[in-house]
Amino acid sequence: MIPKVFKEVIDLGDGREITLETGKLAKQAHGSVVVQSGKCMLLCTVVSNYHQADVDFLPLTVDYREKFAAAGRYPGGFFKREARPSDGEVLTMRLVDRVLRPLFPKDYHSETQVMIQLMSHDDDVMPDAMAGLAASAAIQLSDFPFECAISEVRVGRINGEFIINPSRAQLDESDIDMVIGASADSVMMVEGEMDEISEEEMTEAIKAAHEAIKVQCAAQVRLAEAFGKKEVREYEPAVEDADLEKKIHDMVYDKTYAVAKAGSAKHERGQAFSDIKEEVFNSFSEEEQAELGKLIHKYVAKANKAAIRDLTLNEGLRLDGRKTIDIRPIWCEVDYLPSVHGSSIFTRGETQALATVTLGTSREANQIDMPSFEGEETFYLHYNFPPFSTGEARPIRGTSRREVGHGNLAQRALKGMVPEDCPYTVRVVSEVLESNGSSSMATVCAGTMAMMDAGVQMKKPVSGIAMGLISEGEKYAVLSDILGDEDHLGDMDFKVTGTADGITACQMDIKVKGLSYEILVNALKQARDGRLHILKHLTDTIETPRDDVKEYAPKMVTTRIANEYIGALIGPGGKVIQELQKETGTTIVINEDPETEEGIVEILGTGQEGIDAVLAKIDSITFKPEVGSVYEVKVIKMLDFGAVVEYIEAPGNEVLLHVSELAWERTENVSDVVNMGDVFDVKYFGVDKRTRKEKVSRKAILPKPEGYVERPPRNDRNRDNRGRDNRNKDRKRD
């Protein structure tokens, strides 16, 4: 028997709908929901253990997976099974996690798992835009202690009109691609890329998205009420001790305030804070330490945070002595690594990124193979964050989700500035060597300079800055270029990248409820001032891209050939192209243009001589003489009935020069007129209708000898002289 199903429908306002359904699938999960738009269906399940884990944080796992069966496809690779998540799936997990995590109680430490699966795909629906809605709807159907319903939507803009959850085709026409996460009351997360828009335009896009999110939150509440809203589970709350908290606050606050106001360096400041913490801890007896140790550490951290925030709000000062708008000292360098195609160092305070650029053919494009999207990237960026960058020693177990997310943000910041006609596949790698505040923005700056150093003709240079916000009632302070220590102290952390003319990418996590749009715009404008300050350091180091790639970097030439010549260039079993690559020291890649069916030939080589040789070979293969034109040829073979000649401008292209076309006079022997290796001109007459072969003539461009008599055409000759007519008569008598 099919159980009772509960549904809610969300109208997107343009004929599209999103349906929330529960009661049919995965009923043993603590909450489950199917979200559908068009033929796209997501199943989200949530489970949370009923006992608290022995940790001081929320062990939340958000997992998003796309099933290949959803698109009627098989997974790639030897094992036909979904394996580790792709970068696209990891990025969706991060989008959902960042909105959900702050809404659980701080003292809720039960292991919690949110699983979102793409079960059916629709080419006109991007599933990642509905993942946040699915997660929140499932939680609303559970008994988890969770503050309120949230949702996430993607917003695009085409011809000035905002579109909620655009299709991929619409997104290609849009100048904005942002995902916004929010509750009905407050915006909580923003991430996306833009085509150099203003701060006000970005704010308008957020407002449009928030209005749609309010509708989706209301639908979740209605679904939960219809299904039967569960009582929130009871859990063992964290132990609190108000007297102990006040005692520790009094012991810590003033000392922390003094250290923070001193404006010291990271290690010196960290040691001072550690000494305060140790002094407070040692002031308690061993019995108290054993019993209250966790609370002591917790209240010390809380007092630390309060003191540092108050210092900034009251005096406009920060941990390293800067004022709120100050940027740390910056130094830059390009062409640091001698053998790479492009390199740069960007150092801002105690954050340093070393970026490299590698140039390649379309064969090196990054292949994307997901059920919801197949394609390739000819510009991509990888970000590495080794433990030594923060003075730590810990095991490295593959690329972390954080590295994927930070690399993607930097890639989105830069990719719009790569020209459409860039012939190369461009790979940027950022190695973070020091970190104390926004290594992702250092990656954007280093990436810009490295690309310019490599000769990538960027439209405009891009810089990035990490900002913070501290607010208390009516008072607030926006912090430019935040430190690592300031990252978790504020009420909003946001990273903004852009050119001198507008924003290209952003990432925001907003922790304060009801943040006014006025404060948001002011913060974005302060970020713009910081971006421009940093941008000047970049352009002072390298003002414009190099005119050409470096001497030891590969040069790329792209040409097109008709489809009919692709086979001739490749040769049987690839023989021609392989030998050509070996002889010229180049890499040759041939792709077919699906629209024109032409062959796009990419030639990559460090030596111009080799590239020229490949181009000459292509010209030779694709050479087509024009009727009536004169060409220089060379004799390459002597025959009884003529000479085989090769076009000088197209080596390898041969044609027969018949003995009758050598000279006006009757020629008995070919060698009487030409010899091997002779070079002379011939006229091209096209394909002879009688022989169906190409015809060229030497005599046609020579003057006729004096007294020369043209021989009559074959049909007008006296055939009796050959005795053929007499033979015909004899046959008739028989």
Binding residues for Mg(2+): 487, 493
By the 8 A CB rule, do 602 and 362 touch?
Answer: yes
Q: Which residue has the tokens 């801890």?
A: 281
For residue 219, the one-letter residue type is A
Longest dimension (CA), the chain: 142
CA 649 to chain centre: 44
Burial (0-12, 13-18, 19+ Cβ within 10 Å), 299: buried
Question: Closest Cα to residue 179, out of 171, 190, 187, 165?
Answer: 190
- Alpha-carbon span 293 to 283, nearest angstrom: 12
CB 568 within 8 A of CB 576: yes
Q: Which residues are annotated as a binding site?
A: 487, 493
Query: Per-residue DSSP letters for 597-617?
Result: --EEEEEEES-HHHHHHHHHH
Q: Are 319 and 267 in contact (CB under 8 A)?
A: no
| Separation of alpha carbons 264 and 272, rounded Å | 10
For 292-331, give the DSSP string: HHHHHHHHHHHHHHHHHHHHHHHH-B-TTS-BTT----EE
Exposure string for 146-183, b = 16+ CB within 10 A, e = fewer: beebbbbbbbbbeeeebbbbbbeeebeebbbbbbbbbb
Return the ∠ at Cα 684 (arms to 680 and 685), rounded to 5°: 145
Q: Looking at residue 537, what DSSP letter applies?
A: H
Contact in structure between 40 and 223 (CB atoms under 8 Å): no
